[in-house]
Amino acid sequence: MSKVVEVSPTTRHEGHTKLVLKVNDEGIIERGDWLSITPVRGIEKLAIGKSMHQAPKISSRVCGICPVAHTLAGIEAMEGSIGCEIPDDAYLLRVILQCANRLHSHALHNILTLPDMYLPGTDTHINPFSAEEPVRSVALRIQRLREIGQTVGEIAGGEPIHPSNPRIGGMYKNISPRAKAKIYDLAKEGAVLAREQMDFMITVLKDWENRPTASVASGYEVEKNEKFGFHDQGYMAVDPLYASTNLDADPKWYPERWTEVRPWDWYMGEQEITLDDPNYPNHATTPAGAKAWPQMEACTAVPMYDGAPIEVGPRARLAIFRNYDKKGAMGLQIARQMEYPDCLYSMMEAVDALDTSGSVVADEIPQGDGSLGWAANEAPRGTDVHLAKVKDGRVQWYSLLVPTTWNFPVCSRALEGAPWQLAEVIVRAYDPCVSCATHMMVVDEEKKVVAQKLVQ
């Protein structure tokens, strides 16, 4: 007889989610629903009627870890709608900003991941806050990597959290030769640290993978399954590093392949919690007898590509552009670490190519005729698609398909076969960013809105 256990809230990721898990007598997940319970904020709805300049600045506030993705995807979707091409040097500054943000985000995620992992060769979980070596040096290195990322973001983007420099048509400001040199120096320093950090993380992740048993943080050990975190869904990515938009000569994302279903059609119906565990780390699981109703509680629509859920993020990028083929939760984690060097090398390349006296704003910024524009930005967590229709400088329609929204159903599938006590390890492999993932319109094949949560 299967039982239902609920972990709510989940921890060590951005935002507010829970896990509703149907498990067999051995505690192995038969069906898992991982769902957002972050309140819908309704960015898409309130953007309507606002100026095309303001809407992306609002959508930046969707998330403070990857505001760069939302700012750039938002602006480029508007530019896609009005048909505005930006100058090369503005593009280069955006690329630098993108690299900077990915660097900081991946490093931040290391901190969230490490407590699940062990010091290789020992049974000691890693506590990133420990003052003891070797962990101390790792924590300091992570801090420095984040500092480098945020400082570069500050220079190229005006601000690392909610960048102020990007604007419709390019950027507000080019940078000084001094700032250019500073970015280059920081990237050089970061490249060395990033490589060390990547090597360290991959060692730690492989060590975890090779253990027969594991626990979440300092909980009790359970046996792992062989295909931990595997799923059979496909991958979606538009670029190894940056983005694709409808203005590209060869766009890499296809709006016609995207549909959505309501949480109602995809998540489990009402369940009674029949299994609980007062000793689950951080806080007990939901007490038995309580009710859960994923269909009703999930705050995200379920986007599909070619009619099926699809994984986005570091592994999807590596799988599509570099033939990476490692599956499972650790496959995803390792792919993320492998993106470290490129953040720095691409940053150096872009800053090298930058002409600090070049113009960074398009000469002409059309006001739009209501055509559909879209931009797919490869955010740290995967493809962040913004779609917009702009007419006379105002937003008529705006939709955000953010990485974690794509990953919710995929990750839910990937839970199957794992011991429920380790479900959070799978969730964390996706580096979820749930504030990002709450969006409320649902469209069908004809892109007609078929469901819309009311926002008071």
By CB under 8 A, tell whether 189 contacts other proteins: no
The kind and range of the H/E element at 166 are strand 166-167
Closest distance to other proteins from the beta carbon of 347 (Å): 15
Pick the closer one to other proteins by CB: 85 or 159.
Answer: 159
Largest separation between any pair of C-alpha atoms in the chain: 70
Pick the closer one to other proteins by CB: 175 or 410.
Answer: 175
Q: What are phi and psi of 386, to 5 degrees?
A: -115, 135
Q: What per-residue string of b and e applies to 265-276 under the rule 16 or more CB within 10 Å gives b?
A: ebbbeebebbbb
By CB under 8 A, tell whether 176 contacts other proteins: yes
Distances in whole angstroms, Cα of residue 440 to Cα of each of 262, 313, 369: 9, 22, 25
The Cα 238–Cα 85 span in angstroms is 19
Q: Segment near other proteins (CB under 8 A), from 84-92, 167-175, 214-222, 394-402? A: 167-175
Q: Segment near other proteins (CB under 8 A), from 74-82, 170-178, 431-439, 445-453? A: 170-178
Pick the closer one to other proteins by CB: 148 or 310.
Answer: 148
Count of residues touching other proteins (by CB under 8 A) = 19
Point out which residues pair with 70 in neighbouring strands. none
Closest distance to other proteins from the beta carbon of 154 (Å): 6
Pick the closer one to other proteins by CB: 112 or 161.
Answer: 161
Rounded to an integer, what is the distance from CA 231 to the centroid of its chain? 18
By CB under 8 A, tell whether 188 contacts other proteins: no
By CB under 8 A, tell whether 181 contacts other proteins: yes
Residue 118 is given by DSSP the state: B
Residue 316 · residue 324 · CB < 8 Å:
no
Looking up tokens 């979820």 gives 432
Pick the closer one to other proteins by CB: 355 or 369.
Answer: 355
The Cα 241–Cα 97 span in angstroms is 11
Site residues (CB under 8 A) for other proteins, limited to 341-360: none
By CB under 8 A, tell whether 159 contacts other proteins: yes
By CB under 8 A, tell whether 155 contacts other proteins: yes
Pick the closer one to other proteins by CB: 175 or 204.
Answer: 175
Quickly list DSSP for 357-407.
Answer: TS--B-S-----EEEEEEEEEEETTEEEEEEEEEETTEEEEEEEE-HHHHH
Closest distance to other proteins from the beta carbon of 182 (Å): 4
Q: Segment near other proteins (CB under 8 A), from 72-80, 179-187, 425-433, 435-443? A: 179-187
Pick the closer one to other proteins by CB: 171 or 442.
Answer: 171
Classify residue 39 by burial, with Cβ atoms within 10 Å: 0-12, 13-18, 19+.
Answer: exposed
Structure tokens at 207: 């060590």
By CB under 8 A, tell whether 239 contacts other proteins: no
Q: Segment near other proteins (CB under 8 A), from 6-14, 147-155, 317-325, 423-431? A: 147-155
Using the rule CB under 8 A, which residue among 173, 211, 262, 327 binds other proteins?
173
Closest distance to other proteins from the beta carbon of 440 (Å): 30
Which residues are near other proteins by CB under 8 A? 151, 154-156, 158-161, 165, 173-176, 178-183
